[in-house]
Structure formats: C-alpha cells, structure tokens
Chains A and B, each alone.
Chain A
Amino acid sequence: MRDVAIVGAASTPFGRSQWSLLKLMAEASHAAMTQARLGDRRIDAVCVANMGSARNNRQAGLASALVDRLNLFPAAAETVENGPASGASAVKVGFQAVASGMSDLVLVCGGERMREVNNLEATEFVSYLSHRYAEYPYGVTLPALAGMFARLFMAKHGVTAEHLAMVAMKNHANALLNPNAHIKMELSLEGILHSPHALMNNPFVADPLRFFDCCPVSDGAAAVLLAPAEMTSDLTDRPVRIAGIGQATDTQAVHERPDPTELTAVRIASQRAFEMAGLEPKDISLAELHDAFTILEIAQSEEVGFFKRGKGHIALAKGETQIGGRLPINTSGGLKAKGHPVGATGVSQIAELVFQLRGEAGKRQVKDPRHGFALNFGGFGNSVVATILSRGF
C-alpha cells in the first residue's frame, strides 16, 4: 500500500448561499487543486460526498456533474452517501484509490446546500437517518435523539448545562477567528444560561439541549486533493500525510445498544485509526470532533481516548480544549459554529487539520502541531469515520 498525502485543501465559507450546489463544490475544488503544482498532470478520479442533493436540490450524479463543471474529463467520478459521515467516507475512498495504486491524483469534494429547503424540511431530511420503523414513525429527529442522549449522559457523568454552554462558547469564539465559519457571534454564559432573559435568548429545543447547543443548518463545500507520497515533492512543499483511517458501524436504532451513552463505533473507529497510524491519543496536537450537539463533543472526547470516561467535561472546564490548551478541539468552530453542511463536514474537518498542520490557520493557529485527528459521525453514532493526519513525511 502506498503512503498518501494531501497536497491541496480548501473550503468555501459556510452559511446561507445563493450559489448552486455545483458552484459551491467547484469553487472549493478549484481552490484545492490550484494549491498543487499540477502542471499538465490530470486528475484521475473525483470522489464527491453528499447526502441529500437529489432531494433538496434536484441534482443527482453530482460527481460526474462536477467533473463536467471543472472540465476534468475523463476522470472517474463517484458519489459517496454515508449520511453526515459522507465526507470522511469519501476521503477514505479516495485514499484507497491512491494507496492501492489504482489512481494517482484524486480530488475529494464534499458539498451540501441545505438552505434551499426551509428548516422544517431540512430537519425532516436529516431525520431520515433514524431507524425507518423503530424511530422515524414516532417523530424522532436528530435533536430528539441528542436530547435523550444528553439527559442520560449528564445524569451518569455529572455534566451540567454550564458544561454544554462552555462547548458552545468555546466553539463560537474559535469561529470568530475562522473567516469561513457560518456563525460569527460571541456567546456569554450570562446571555445563554444565567440571565433572567436567557430562556428567550436560548430556548429549549430538545430538553436539556437548547438552541445554542445545536449546530446551524448550513450550505458549503470543502475539498482536498490526494496524491501518492512519491509525487508530493513535485506537487507541494507542505505535504500532509494521511496517517490513519478507522471506520466502524453501530446499531441504527439507539435503543438497541447495551448502553446508549456509549458511542461504541466512535471508540472502535478511533482505535483502528490510531493503530494504523502507530500513534496514541496523547500524540494528537488538535482534534476536530463532530459537535452537531454540544454534548457530542464531550462524549466523543472520551470515546476517542483523549480523556477518561466521565472526565471530558472536566478537561473542558479547565480550558484544556481551548486553542492554547493541552488539546485544542474544534479550532475551526466545529459544526456548532463553523456550520454543518452535512456532506461537506467530514472533508471540512480534514481541511481544517491540513490548514493547522501547514501552519496556515491564521489567528486560530495551534502552536507547532504534528498530528491532527478528525471524527466524522453519521446517524446518531451508527456510522463513524476517524482520520489522523500527520505533518510531512
């Protein structure tokens, strides 16, 4: 198996877009490709991550449409749909193509345009991830699952509403340093929790989760360009290596898990990625976790192995996960504030690690990072992809 490098990474701003989905994806892809000294080399394959374009944007066959839009003929084209984990899944498919020797240059682009439909439809669309017979018919949405998970997890581990608010405040603060973030708004504990006016500012969505515990519905795209290790010196001076990838699946219906507060697929996917990379959680310089809901950042930080079970919220409260802390988490602002265009998210997390490892993250730059970790979480933890990137070779 060949070593695989990322030689280009880019993202559009996330938010509400007037551009078409294809235009968003073309912008991100073009920006990623122009970072590499491609010369007259051709892109061999294009792998697209997307969850709902056929439903929300009346556009199917996205990958071949992107090849056409970017004039990358006759590159192979395929679309990966793996729920909100589509992005990291697509990077994995691209990695396999390069590592196997089947392709040399593979463009991976994740994109989603969710604001084309109203927010009720967007919530409905995302709820298709739930179990078709055991959850969906009873009105279960992703915020509802997260609310039930949060209630159990908080009772079991002593996590409080203040801890959830700390995640939101940290990630909103990080997003203020990220020009591509969707939400540019500082939050205060007083304003979202303690003030007598807080309930109006921050109403309950799925008790105990409030409005600012939930990620926004976003449009956006992100792209990375993959190449084999032996080509990287020709293509870039700052290669980033894909050191490890792990993937795992859990039951689709959350109630079928022996302990619904344990995210088994997160644990297994992470272990597999660490094993492949020959690294341990203590080696990681920064992490992008899938904080679609604030509680998930805390729970995932434990399942990945960064903190002992039940201690994630304590590390958070000590500031260990802030930029400048022992393990900065979600320097980009995370899904919580950078935004969550579902198909783009996994690629965007990996792009953020690339920016950090190349020292290009501007005001949110982590000091001298060597290894970055990304966790892309589909459904309610039933499909998980963990990716580890390392600086250079």
Chain B
Amino acid sequence: MIDELEAMLRPPALEMAPYPPKFITLASGEVMVVRQASIDEVDTLLEVIDPLKHLHRDFYDIVSARLYSELLGWKVHRVRNEYCLVGVIDGVLAGIVNGRMFDERHGISYHTLALKRGLRVGAHLFAAKMEHHIEYLGEDEVWIVAESPIGHRRWMIEYPLATKFEIQHELGGAPSWVLTRETYFKAKPRLVVGTRPVPQDLLATSRPIKKPDLRTMLVQVEDTLEARL
C-alpha cells in the first residue's frame, strides 16, 4: 500500500515488455549472461557504482554519478518507465546499461558502464539496450548522447547513428543522435549478438548478483600501467 501523497509523487508508468535474457561468449571464452535487473537488485548495483563516481578516467565519474542517480530514481519511483540490463560473468557483475521509454514510439538511452574492460562488455550491453528498445519495447527510435569519446566512437560512428540535434535529450546539452529501426536492423548482423534461451542452470548463476572485487575493478577501470604498480 502506498499513501495518497506518495501516489501523487510517483510518475505514471507505461506497460513495458520484459527483456528476454541471452548469453554471449566473450573473446576470453567466458560466458556473459545479459538479463534485466529488478528493482530489488538496485542496492547492490549502487554499491558497485559508488566508488567509480570519483574516478575521472574516461569519464567514469560522470557516467557513474548519473547512472547512480538514475537507478536510485528508478528504485524510489521517481523516474518514469525506466529499465536496467546487467551483464553477469560467473555470477559477478561485469556491466550495467539503462534507459527508459519516453513514450510508445521513442526511447531514451541513459548510460552504459563497463566494469570489466577489454572484452567489449560495454559494446555488447549497449547493443542489448538497443535490441530492447526496438525489438521488445517496439519503439521506432532511440535518442542517444555520448558523454565520452569512447561512447562516441562505439555508438555514433560504429552503428552509425544519425544526428537529431533538433530534440533536447534529457541528459543535457550534448547534441542528440538517433538510432532508428532501419539503422538498428542494418547494424544488427554486425553488432547485436547473443543466444536464447539461456539454459536454466546458466541463468541461475546470475542471481544473486555478486559484486566484483573492488581493487580488481578499480585497476581494470583505471586501465593505466601506474594503477597496476
């Protein structure tokens, strides 16, 4: 039961189709389960993200700080129509992506955070996010901005996305780009991979989410030779 005032504070929500889990064999041979996270897992995600808010390397600070607030907003029902997908390797969290439905036709891409680098975890999860918007939520287009040069290379150039500078993306002033259904299906054979269904025993390894070792994660994310010393 929620009280009357709280009900007024909560945004109305659209019905959202679930994202069916899939698995991806990474370059290392490790298998990453990609699945939808539930609200009761947000606290674990926030604990993992928290220390990254202070890491300037490759704009992890701004991406982490914003992702933290978006997931917190989702948990306390202050963001409308949000979802979150996670990548999990051997039960350990390897990456997070999130976004939301703006309306039935338009999706908003929020953030992509890779916790394990060098295996294209971020690229796989971003692709899963686009797959969710276009194929499962049934939207016509997704509005996207990049907050790091890596993101710009991975999304704007690699897909490639079209400009949509005339709209104001809700992440701020960066010019917005767009993924259309046409762009998505052209890029899909190259960039969107994964196998379904996920065997039950493999899927079971992804719950509950285990937090990565903090030092290992920070060294991975910092990705400098000095961090290894």
- B225: chain A residues at CB < 8 Å are 12-17, 182, 219-220
Residues from chain A with a CB closer than 8 A to the CB of B229 are 13
- A185 contact from B25, B27, B124, Cβ within 8 A: B27
A202 at the interface (CB under 8 A from B): yes
Query: Which residues from B are CB-within-8-Å of A15?
Result: 223-225, 228
In the complex, are the beta carbons of A191 and B193 less than 8 A apart? no
CA distance A201 to B194 in the complex (A): 11
- Residues 188-209 of chain A: 1 if any B CB is under 8 Å from the residue's CB, otherwise 0? 1011100111111111000000
* Minimal Cβ-Cβ distance residue in A for B228: A13
B124's partner among A179, A195, A200 (CB-CB below 8 A) is: A200
Q: In the bound complex, do residue B195 and residue A201 qualify as a contact, i.e. CB atoms below 8 Å apart?
A: no
Complex formed: what's the CA distance from A182 to B226 in Å?
11
Complex Cα gap A13–B227 (Å): 10
Q: Which residues of B contact A292 (CB under 8 A)?
A: none
Closest approach, in angstroms, between the C-beta of A186 and any C-beta of chain B? 5
Instruction: With both chains docked as a complex, state the minimum distance between the C-beta of A189 and any C-beta of chain B, in angstroms.
Output: 8
Q: Mark B190-220, 1 if CB is under 8 A from A, else 0.
A: 1111110000000000000000000000000
* Residue B172 at the chain A interface, CB threshold 8 Å: no
Across the interface, name the chain A residue whose C-beta is closest to B191: A200
Indicate whether A212 reaches chain B with its CB closer than 8 angstroms. Answer: yes
Residues of chain A lying within 8 A (CB to CB) of residue B195? 196-197
A265 CB, nearest partner CB in chain B, Å? 32
Q: Is A183 an interface residue (CB 8 A)?
A: yes
**Number of A-B residue pairs having CB atoms within 8 Å of each other in the complex:** 76
Chain A residues with CB under 8 A of B24: 197, 200
In the complex, what distance in Å separates the CA atom of A64 from the CA atom of B11? Answer: 66
Query: In the bound complex, what is the Cα–Cα distance between A185 and B120 (angstroms)?
Result: 12
B29 partner residues in chain A, CB cutoff 8 A = 186-188, 190-191
Residues of B within 8 A of A190 (CB): 25, 29
- Whether A100 is near chain B, meaning CB under 8 Å from some CB there, is no
A residues 206-242 touching B (CB-CB < 8 Å): 212, 219-220
| Residue from B118, B190, B226 in contact with A18 in the complex, judged by beta carbons closer than 8 Å | B226
B123 contacts A by Cβ under 8 Å: yes
* Chain B neighbourhood of A202, CB < 8 A: 27
A192 CA / B26 CA spacing, docked (Å)? 8
Smallest CB-CB separation from B189: which chain A residue?
A199
Interface size class, chain A: 20 to 34
A118 CB within 8 Å of chain B? yes
In the complex, what's the smallest C-beta–C-beta distance from A222 to chain B, in angstroms?
Answer: 13
**B174: Cβ under 8 A from any A Cβ:** no
Complex contacts, B124 vs chain A, CB 8 Å:
200
Q: Which of B19-73 contact A (CB under 8 A)?
A: 24-30
Bound complex: CA A18 to CA B24 (Å): 33
CB-contact partner of A191 in B28, B127, B191, B194, under 8 A: B28
Q: Is B14 an interface residue (CB 8 A)?
A: no
Residues of B near A18 (CB, < 8 A) are 224, 226
Decide if B119 is an interface residue (CB 8 Å cutoff). Answer: yes
Bound complex: CA of A219 vs CA of B228, how far in Å? 14
Asked if A188 contacts B28 (CB within 8 A), the reply is yes
Question: Taking the nearest CB of chain B, how far is it from the CB of A184, in angstroms?
Answer: 8
Asked if A201 and B226 sit within 8 Å, CB to CB, the answer is: no
- Give the distance to chain A from B155, nearest Cβ to Cβ, in Å: 14
Q: In the complex the two chains form, what is the Cα distance from A19 to B229 in whole Å?
A: 13
Nearest chain B CB to A318 CB, angstrom units: 22
Neighbouring B residues of A183 by C-beta, 8 Å: 118
Report the Cα distance A196→B194, complex, angstroms.
8
Chain B residues contacting A19 (CB-CB under 8 Å) are 226
Smallest Cβ-Cβ distance to A119: which chain B residue: B153
| Contact A186 B193, CB 8 Å, known A12-B225, A13-B229, A17-B224 | no
B149 CB–A CB distance under 8 Å: yes
Chain B contacts with A in 94-126, Cβ cutoff 8 A: 118-120, 123-124
User: In the complex, are the beta carbons of B123 and A200 less than 8 A apart?
Assistant: yes
Is A199's CB under 8 angstroms from B190's CB? Answer: yes
Contact between B118 and A200 (Cβ–Cβ < 8 Å)? no
Distance in Å: Cβ of A122 to nearest Cβ of chain B: 14
A196 touches B193 (CB 8 A): yes
Given contact pairs A191-B29, A199-B190, A203-B190, A185 touches B118 in the complex (Cβ within 8 A): yes
- Structural contact, B193 and A187, CB atoms closer than 8 A: no
Contacts A16-B223, A185-B118 given; does A118 touch B149 at CB 8 Å? yes
Residues of chain A contacted by B127 (CB below 8 angstroms): 200
By a CB distance below 8 angstroms, the chain B residues around A200 are 24, 120, 123-124, 127, 190-193
15 A-B contacts (beta carbon < 8 Å)? A14-B225, A15-B224, A16-B224, A16-B225, A17-B224, A17-B226, A18-B224, A19-B226, A188-B29, A191-B27, A197-B25, A197-B26, A200-B193, A201-B26, A202-B27
The 8 closest A-B pairs by CB, nearest first: A188-B29, A15-B225, A13-B225, A195-B25, A197-B193, A201-B27, A191-B27, A191-B29
**Residues in A lying within 8 Å of B, measured CB to CB:** 12-19, 118, 179, 182-183, 185-188, 190-192, 195-203, 212, 219-220
Given contacts A16-B224, A17-B226, A191-B29, 14 further A-B contacts (CB under 8 A): A15-B225, A17-B225, A18-B224, A179-B228, A182-B225, A183-B118, A188-B25, A196-B193, A197-B24, A198-B25, A199-B190, A200-B127, A200-B190, A201-B25
